[in-house]
Chains A and B, each alone.
Chain A
Amino acid sequence: MKTKHLLSLLRNLVAWGLSAIMFIPLLLVVINSLKTRAEADAMDMRLPSSLQWSNFAVVIEEGKLVQSFFNSLLYAVGAMVGSVLLASLAAYVLSRRRTRLNRALYFYLIMGIAMPTNFVTLMKVMQWTHLVNTQTGIILMMTASAIPFSVFLIYGFVSSVPRELDESGIVDGCTPVRLFFSVVFPLLTPVLVTVAILNFMGAWSDFIHPLYFLNSSEKWPMTLAVYNFFGRFEVYWNLVSADIVLTTLPVIAIYLLGQRFIISGMMSGSVKG
Chain B
Amino acid sequence: MNRTSYPLYFTAAALAVYTVFFVLPGVMGIFYSFTDWNSYTDEINFIGFKNLAGIFSLEDRYLGFIRNTIVFTVATVVLKTVLGLLFAILLNEGIRFKGFHRVMLFMPAIVPMLVVGLIFKSILHPATGLLNETLRAIGLDFLAQKWLTDLNWAFKSIIAVDTWKGVGYIMVIILAGLQSIDRTYYEAASIDGANFWQRLLKITIPLIVPALVVTTVLNLLHGLKVFEVVYVLTNGGPGYATDVMYTAIFKEFSKGNYGMGTALSSVLFVVMTVLGYFVIRLMSREGHEQ
Chain A residues packing against B (C-beta within 8 Å): 8, 11-12, 14-16, 18-19, 21-26, 28-29, 41-45, 82, 85-87, 89-90, 92-94, 96-98, 102-103, 105-125, 129, 140-141, 143-145, 147-148, 151-152, 155-156, 159, 166, 170, 176, 179-180, 201, 204-205, 207-208, 211-212, 223, 226-227, 230, 237, 240, 244, 247-248, 251-252, 255, 259, 262-263, 266-267, 269-273
Contact = CB atoms under 8 A, between A and B. Distances in A.
Q: Which residue, B114, B129, B177, B249, has most C-beta atoms of chain A within 10 A?
A: B114
10 closest cross-chain pairs (CB), A and B: A114-B276, A205-B112, A144-B21, A90-B14, A19-B104, A118-B29, A86-B14, A273-B210, A270-B214, A122-B25
B137 to A, nearest CB: 10
B265 A118 contact: yes
Contact of A45 (B6, B130, B250): B130
Contacts of B15: 90, 105, 108-109
B47 interface: no
B288 to A, nearest CB: 8
Interface stretch (B52-60, B71-79, B89-97, B141-149): B89-97
Given A147-B17, A207-B114, A111 B107 contact: no
B176 A107 contact: no
Nearest to A159: B290
A153 to B, nearest CB: 10
A23 B6 contact: no
B172 A266 contact: yes
Interface string B1-37: 1111111101101110110111111101100100000
22 contacts: A14-B90, A22-B164, A25-B164, A26-B119, A98-B288, A112-B18, A113-B280, A119-B249, A120-B253, A140-B21, A147-B17, A148-B22, A176-B5, A201-B110, A207-B112, A207-B114, A208-B228, A237-B122, A244-B118, A248-B111, A251-B111, A272-B287
A90 B24 contact: no
A262 B145 CA distance: 37
A252 B110 contact: yes
Contacts of B4: 176
B115 A244 contact: yes
A129 B108 CA distance: 37
A230 B117 CA distance: 11
Nearest to B123: A25
Nearest to A14: B90
A22 B107 contact: yes
B101 interface: yes
Contact of B104 (A22, A156, A159): A22
B221 A22 contact: no
B43 interface: no
B65 to A, nearest CB: 14
Contacts of B120: 25
A22 B11 CA distance: 42
A226 B290 contact: no
Contacts of A97: 2-3, 6
B236 interface: no
B189 interface: no
B63 interface: no
A109 B112 contact: no
